Amino acid sequence: MPMQRQKKRQAEMLANLKSGDQVVTSGGIVGTVTAVENDTIIIRVKPDNLKLQISRSAVSSLVPAESSK
């Protein structure tokens, strides 16, 4: 049961991604979402503002708002 709950929360988080959210990918890359498409998202990575197109399923978590400053 706990595993199903965790999968449901992860799927909900992926479905609710929007521009401006700060995310961490499964590879450890931290970036800010700039565009959301069907199965892909584009994130901006500091310090050079490099834009990366990644699969939506590669996002492992959201960065809490207070630590993104």
pLDDT in tens, the chain (69 residues): 789 999 999 999 999 999 999 999 999 999 999 999 989 999 999 999 999 999 999 999 998 877 555
- Can you point out the beta strands (E) in the chain? 22-25, 30-36, 40-45, 50-55, 59-62
Per domain, the residue ranges of the chain are 2-68
Structure tokens at 21: 């959210």
Q: 47 preceded by cis ω (within 30°)?
A: yes
Is-contact 34 49, C-beta < 8 A?
Answer: no
Is-contact 21 32, C-beta < 8 A?
Answer: yes
Mention the CATH class of domain 2-68: mainly beta
